[in-house]
Chains A and B, each alone.
Chain A
């Protein structure tokens, strides 16, 4: 038994224009971190953001669920639409937005609570389910989707911080899934993990694509190539090139992209 997330298609059917960013500029104080970014992100696809350190990948990602709001000095200009709706409009509630656009961070950051409560917290605050069997079901199916259920089903009451790094990151993914988001943002989710745990999460991302729109920041070219269908290359706060992953890696249009993926700098 699984709870119904949505009736989104399960095939390899992309839904174009899930997220559109138009002329986005981001400033940290007087410093301009993003220049005039225009980018379309398809639904039910994995989009990879690559680029050298400090080029603004995380900044862009954090614009998409307005996490930048929590930084006092950060200002965002331009327009970002989710399903055609401006997420920086006054009518948009960030709490609601972040329930629709979940996030997985670079360092696994489970709550210092039990595994069960880690998953149940989101659904509980959003009123998606009450305590009891309904919640148990959400916890189980979220952990199953994150490929963690078999490893933790006997220790749900134990603290989430007691898991291994890779398990913790999958717990964080399960936590993000539990509130039934439409989009999942992942900021270098595997950078703290070993190759086996990484492979596990990559597999997971591929499966999640069926139901979610995924945007992943990565420094690992192979990973971008393996998991994503689209790739955007950022450089010095600009979006240089965005195309099908295959195109980017086999036939980059821009000299800078070529230089980066062939390892000349970054």
Chain B
């Protein structure tokens, strides 16, 4: 036997030398540092996220509590229908605020004179009169009776009770006067004015008054818009990806298309809004502010994402599976439908859901096509004017009254909830599909 170490490029003993040890130590050290940097980054990101979420939740949870007056109201026939007629037209024209006023003055006799009564009426929401009218319209027999009714407090009252309007602020700097504070304290002590848990912020349509505003309309608008986006972007995107990946020849044209698709994925979303404005609104004359056109614009925006994700998913299907299927005589279409697409489905699905999640949170392009309009009615059809959650958030965040702050945060919570739901769905579906195969 010859000495092996003499033929090796380095002498074997160098693996045990001091220099080698030092190199090894350095290697471990840089590994530890790398790990620490990674952990640090995760902690930093986590803290930021926690900070964001706590701010939103702390600001938003109060939106689910609403101050209400539980008062005994006399449905005075004189105010509702002096003529005694109960046909709907007469009933709807009745002076319901007067009923509210007399019910409240009974509780707060100190409020006298025009000014006093007006200050007292500022404590209840303008919705109170509508509540009473709706009750009477539904059941005219109430006229002439006393009923205990729960009436919505005004935004100022509500915000004061929630502590968002500081008692210590100078009278000129707060929207409730000293006199009103006194009445509020008195009514709360009597148990008439109380904070109730309420889902109205979710289940009511939008309103000009913060205490009455809810996001039901925006939620429905968002869902309808997403459905349009889904119905357009997924079939078109997947079909385009399948064609480009499986059938298209490799030439200058397909290269050009590929470059363009990648470019489109990076185009700022507002550009799609401009396209929607000039194409669909002005040229095709589709209904303005509608979920239909919003969905079409967002579909255009999502399409490149879906195509790119689907192509990547199709590419990752092992060629051996295609060969196996071709080898026993499957036609190219059968290979794709029976083998390639099912295997690519988890990837396609993930890409689609991520694309949709981005579309769900998109605001800018929708502003351009008029979805920023103030819409009270809940949209019932795709062509109805509607708004979507992120635009609703944008509008509420822009409004001055204090009550909008908590509602904005509540809307953000709902939007985040939806995003989490969609991403969880993506993970779940992927897991499910992967297990099946």
A99 lies within 8 A of chain B by Cβ: yes
Q: Which residue of chain B lies nearest to A66 when distances are taken between CB atoms in the complex?
A: B326
Q: Which of B230-275 contact A (CB under 8 A)?
A: 249-250
For the complex, give the distance between the alpha carbons of A179 and B329 in Å.
Answer: 9
B321-332: CB near A (< 8 Å → 1, else 0) gives: 111111111110
CA distance A107 to B324 in the complex (A): 10
Given contacts A72-B249, A112-B343, A159-B437, contact A125 B330 (CB under 8 A): yes
Residue B162, interface by CB 8 Å: no
A107: contacting residue among B320, B326, B338, CB under 8 A: B320
A-B pairs with lowest CB-CB distance, top 3: A109-B320, A99-B329, A103-B327
Q: Is the beta-carbon distance between A109 and B321 smaller than 8 angstroms?
A: yes
Q: B320, B327, B331, B437: which has the most chain A beta carbons within 10 Å? A: B327
- How large, as a class, is the contact surface on chain B? 20 to 34
Complex interface residues of chain B between 318 and 369 (CB less than 8 A to chain A): 318, 320-331, 334, 338-339, 343
- Beta-carbon contact of A70 and B326 below 8 Å: yes
By the criterion CB–CB under 8 Å, are A105 and B328 in contact? Answer: no
Asked whether, in the complex, the Cβ of B329 is within 8 Å of the Cβ of A122, the reply is: yes
Establish whether residues B329 and A98, one from each chain, have CB atoms under 8 Å apart when the complex forms: yes
Known contacts being A72-B249, A159-B437, is A98 close to B328, with CB within 8 Å?
yes
Is there a chain B Cβ closer than 8 Å to A260's Cβ? no
- CA gap between A183 and B49 in the complex, in Å: 63
Q: Which residues of A contact B339 (CB under 8 A)?
A: 111
A-B contacts counted at CB < 8 A amount to 65
Give 7 A-B contacts (CB < 8 Å), ordered by A residue: A70-B323, A95-B329, A98-B329, A111-B325, A121-B330, A178-B328, A179-B328
Q: How far is the CA of A121 from the CA of B121 in the complex (A)?
A: 77
CB <8 Å contact, A111 and B249: no
- For B323, what are the chain A residues with a Cβ–Cβ distance below 8 Å? 67, 70, 103, 105, 109
Q: Which residues of A does B touch, CB under 8 Å?
A: 65, 67, 70, 72, 95-99, 102-103, 105, 107, 109-113, 121-122, 125-126, 159, 172, 175-176, 178-179
Which residue of A95, A96, A97, A109 contacts B324 across the interface (Cβ within 8 Å)?
Answer: A109
Within the assembled complex, what's the spacing in Å between the Cα atoms of A264 and B322? 37
Do B326 and A126 touch (CB < 8 A)?
no
Residue of A nearest to B330 (CB): A125
CA distance A70 to B324 in the complex (A): 12
Q: A72-B249, A111-B339 are in contact. Are A99 and B320 (CB under 8 A)?
A: no
Give every chain B residue within 8 A of A109 (Cβ-Cβ). Answer: 318, 320-321, 323-324
Contact yes or no, A105 B324, CB < 8 A: yes
Distance (Å) between the CB of A73 and the closest chain B CB?
9
Q: Do B327 and A96 touch (CB < 8 A)?
A: no
Q: Give every chain B residue within 8 A of A121 (Cβ-Cβ).
A: 325, 328, 330, 338
| CA A110 to CA B325, docked complex, whole Å | 9
Decide: B320 and A176 in contact? CB cutoff 8 A. Answer: no
The residues of A that contact B324 with a CB separation of less than 8 Å are 105, 109-111, 172, 175
Q: A67-B327, A72-B250, A121-B330 are in contact. List 14 more A-B contacts (CB 8 A).
A: A65-B327, A70-B323, A102-B327, A105-B320, A105-B324, A109-B320, A109-B323, A109-B324, A110-B324, A111-B339, A112-B343, A112-B437, A125-B338, A175-B324
> In the assembly, what is the distance between CA of A96 and CA of B321, in Å?
19
**A70 to chain B: which residues have CB within 8 Å?**
322-323, 326
Within B207-239, the residues touching A (CB, 8 Å) are: none
